[in-house]
Structure 1
């Protein structure tokens, strides 16, 4: 549907959105569903990302081979359970490891709500994410990995050992530790529920590390932990940042009392997202009934497939409407969803289009391309 169709036709598109299909990825360029020849993305960015994508184009994974090839992405995605999402995430991790990637990100909602886990400061989020990480670690261990789940500190470690004692004991090939396990124990920890067994030796013997529940400030400890493991001969070890909401944490970098933006430029930029599902809700006012149109979508990636913008259907299924080898920023995701819903009715270049999109549609870490030491997080 073009930008210039009427609002009434756009509203009809809203009512019939269940028939949307996905545009397919062809040779490093997105085949957009729009009729306009100019892409929504900046041309110089596309040229630059195309070079990066071609240089890092994943071949058939050593782990999946001809059995399962996800390079073309999904037309639709509707996981029926958290167990299915964990399986998909683990498959993506194994594929990435087969392609010799070491620093990985897994991101999907740890709770079946739209509440940001860190804004809620919720033990429910922490415990749910710990359970999901344990489930993922068991699946990785079943494929021959020695997995070490790394918590933020000794207090969280002691609490997790207490609450999930049985699950940890039954998880063969999986151990649990914390970011400070190499430091001398705090003699007062027993007074505050500490006293969990030392995890230092288990951490040294592992070959795969899953970091969970760290805050923005604790990213400093995550980086120090990874750097130490690599310096001690762990170049072949795999490090996974699991449901840490890195986009939220990136937003705090550079603020007073928080780590500097170098945390992203030098560390987080090196982490390749291998399974990523970030739902977003939007709304737009229209001059005809129903006057307010609510719509939802998600930015999705399942390695080695492309980045995909997914529109949520009435039945809860996500349908692909656009895809690219380079990561979309959130402004681009919203624009793709708006166009797909037939709600981008303003004339190209008009003042109304400017007011709808706003002056700024990207964040500093999405813009500072030249300052990054690596561009893995965009691929």
Structure 2
């Protein structure tokens, strides 16, 4: 496996500039144009070769991952997203911690979590625009949240060419839904503002990114994708889908079939799920604390990463298909030498009767295996 180029860079001295000789005065216009076309063709071939080399590097996976900043995370996510779109994939997922681990979810400050996701989504849109020239639309859960983001991040949105913003409220609704929506708008004081039509475009978006949605919003996302993004890529961005899936089927939430029918179609193109563990042993230090992550950078394989003392993550296992959290934990225990004997009572007591969730077990009900690949 090749090391991640964005995590470790070699400093090189720039080569001395070379003088470009001027064409001879006798060179005819036709000859000059011909030489210009050859140069342009050569530059295109070099660019294509560099792109293929970058994709090949991603396909090999990483041995050690230690991004220096969120800028590197965003760059890696954008590169993987671009590679997946080039491969013709249209249902995509990006998942990584938007904040430091102590407040990396709604368990911390929800406003900080929401605002961090907006900033990161804008950064991915910006990088994807540079890579592919893609016109993107960021879709918020509702109109009030869209307007709040427009007010806070107005300057950042203005700096990205071709971007538009929308909300799940843009879906056409029946008279009953319209009535309740009007009540909600009134109670939320959801009045129009100067930014209402600021980022509308005459050209349709080439990519939709859904952010900050809850379990209840997933059914609306499915309708939105069917209505507006049936033939263009759609990205579920940092929705913590595994947490949302656990609510499916409960009273007041969408049924489990939503995963089998819709969520199973989404390929994770950049995925980092960190976990902290501890294990009791019979000798000093008696309790061993360790951390790891399930990692995927498209088109590379799924990898189990063990966190090192310097904060980097080292690959200890990889697979063409997605690891369950139980499988990932077993791989971490194996490499640490803490795994119980296979079939022993201790192994059964640790793992229990079930070692996977309902959405990880039921292969036959899935419309697509894409979320595992």
Q: Same fold (TM over 0.5)?
A: yes
Contact 2:245 2:259 in 1 (8 A): yes
Matches within 5 A, 1:160-175: 160-175=149-164
Question: What is the aligned partner in structure 2 of residue 125 from structure 1?
Answer: 113
- Residue 246, structure 1, aligned to residue 241, structure 2: yes
Question: What is the aligned partner in structure 1 of residue 273 from structure 2?
Answer: 278
What do residues 219-255 of structure 1 show as CA deviations (whole Å, max 9, x unaligned)?
111111001024xxx41x1101111100110010000
How many pairs were matched up?
Answer: 316
What do residues 82-112 of structure 1 show as CA deviations (whole Å, max 9, x unaligned)?
0100000000000001100011000000111
- Residue 255, structure 1, aligned to residue 250, structure 2: yes
Contact 2:102 2:108 in 1 (8 A): no
Question: What is the aligned partner in structure 2 of residue 356 from structure 1?
Answer: 350
Contact 1:130 1:212 in 2 (8 A): yes
What do residues 17-49 of structure 1 show as CA deviations (whole Å, max 9, x unaligned)?
xxxx99xxxxxxxxxxxxxxxxxxxxxxxxxxx
Question: What is the aligned partner in structure 2 of residue 366 from structure 1?
Answer: 360
What do residues 308-363 of structure 1 show as CA deviations (whole Å, max 9, x unaligned)?
0000000001000000001000000011001111111x322111111122221100
Q: The residue matched to 2:274 in structure 1 has which SS? A: strand
Matches within 5 A, 1:221-240: 221-230=220-229, 234-235=230-231, 237-240=232-235
With the length of structure 1 as denominator, give the TM-score of the two structures: 0.79
Matching residue within 77, 91, 103 for 2:65? 77
Q: The residue matched to 2:139 in structure 1 has which SS? A: strand
Matching residue within 288, 292, 315 for 1:297? 292
Q: 2: distance between equivalents of 1:246 and 1:267?
A: 12
Q: Which moved more, 1:63-72 or 1:157-166?
A: 63-72
Question: What is the aligned partner in structure 1 of residue 127 from structure 2?
Answer: 139
- Residue 64, structure 1, aligned to residue 42, structure 2: no
Deviation at 1:118, TM superposition (A): 3.0
Deviation at 1:65, TM superposition (A): 1.3
In structure 1, the gaps of 5 or more residues are 1-20, 23-60
Distance 1:241 1:203, change over 3 A: farther
Q: The residue matched to 2:119 in structure 1 has which SS? A: helix
Matches within 5 A, 1:34-53: none
Q: 1: distance between equivalents of 2:202 and 2:234?
A: 12
Question: What is the aligned partner in structure 2 of residue 319 from structure 1?
Answer: 314
Matching residue within 95, 98, 116 for 2:86? 98
Q: 2: distance between equivalents of 1:318 and 1:285?
A: 23
Q: 1: distance between equivalents of 2:368 and 2:353?
A: 27
Q: 2: distance between equivalents of 1:79 and 1:324?
A: 22
Q: 1: distance between equivalents of 2:239 and 2:51?
A: 27
Q: 2: distance between equivalents of 1:229 and 1:62?
A: 35
Contact 1:150 1:179 in 2 (8 A): yes
Q: 1: distance between equivalents of 2:81 and 2:283?
A: 47
With the length of structure 2 as denominator, give the TM-score of the two structures: 0.80
Deviation at 1:287, TM superposition (A): 1.4
Q: The residue matched to 1:93 in structure 2 has which SS? A: helix
Q: 1: distance between equivalents of 2:54 and 2:338?
A: 40
- Residue 215, structure 1, aligned to residue 214, structure 2: yes
Contact 2:55 2:83 in 1 (8 A): no
Contact 2:103 2:109 in 1 (8 A): no
In structure 2, the gaps of 5 or more residues are 3-47, 173-177
Task: Between the two structures, name the one with larger relative contact order (CA 8 Å, sep ≥ 6).
Answer: 1
- Residue 197, structure 1, aligned to residue 186, structure 2: no
Contact 1:158 1:193 in 2 (8 A): no
Distance 1:197 1:174, change over 3 A: same
Q: The residue matched to 1:130 in structure 2 has which SS? A: helix
Distance 1:127 1:203, change over 3 A: farther
Contact 1:86 1:136 in 2 (8 A): yes
Q: 2: distance between equivalents of 1:354 and 1:253?
A: 28
Q: CA RMSD in A?
A: 2.3
